[in-house]
Amino acid sequence: MDAAHLHLAVNHIPVLGVIFATLLFAVGQLWKDDKVRRLGLAAGLASAVMLAPTYLSGDPAEEIVEHQPGVVEDLIHPHEEAAETATIVVGVLGVLALLGLVVYRKKSLPAWLNIAFLLLGLAGTGTMAWAAFLGGKIHHQELRGGASAPGDYD
């Protein structure tokens, strides 16, 4: 498995994981259930951890695919920038989740942590979805609104 395959194999995990973590935490908040909130924190932490192989495989994947037919090289940089922003947001979410799981292990989660996790979860969901969309445009013509890559023929 090369870096491009690794990147494609793992990049969906943090994207979907952040959505799942945020929804799970929101349900825990709605039900006022710390166990469900902690499960959301654990999912947020797992999503942040899965960013490492996703982010670290990005540059090597670029080297493999940038000159392949159907790949629009000019779309790679916007994806990289969006992925960097998403990595920072979800990384902070992961640190917050770890704090909640460790420091408040035997206590009720404080209101500030609940609000911060929900806000970061929403921001993480948005930034991860945007990075994923831009990443898909690199090779998927159907996401480019009809624009075709140089050398693509119908």
Q: pLDDT tens across 81-111, in order? A: 999 999 999 999 999 999 999 999 999 999 9
Give which of 8, 33, 10, 25 is closest to 116, Cα–Cα: 25
Q: What is the mean pLDDT of residues 31-57?
A: 96
Interatomic CA distance for residues 67 and 90, integer angstroms: 30
Residue with tokens 């994806």: 79
pLDDT mean across residues, the chain:
90
Q: What is the mean pLDDT of residues 17-32?
A: 98
Give which of 33, 17, 31, 37 is closest to 114, Cα–Cα: 37
Domain map (residue ranges) of the chain: 3-63+71-143
In this predicted structure, the answer to whether residue 144 has a pLDDT above a threshold of 90 is no
pLDDT of residue 154: 36
The pair of three-digit structure tokens given for residue 76, joined into one six-digit string = 């790679």
pLDDT of residue 43: 98
* Whole-model pTM over 0.85: yes
CB 40 within 8 A of CB 24: yes
Helices of type H across 12-75: 12-31, 34-49, 51-56, 58-65
**If pLDDT is split at 50, 70 and 90, which confidence band does 141 have?**
low
Q: What is the mean pLDDT of residues 40-44?
A: 98
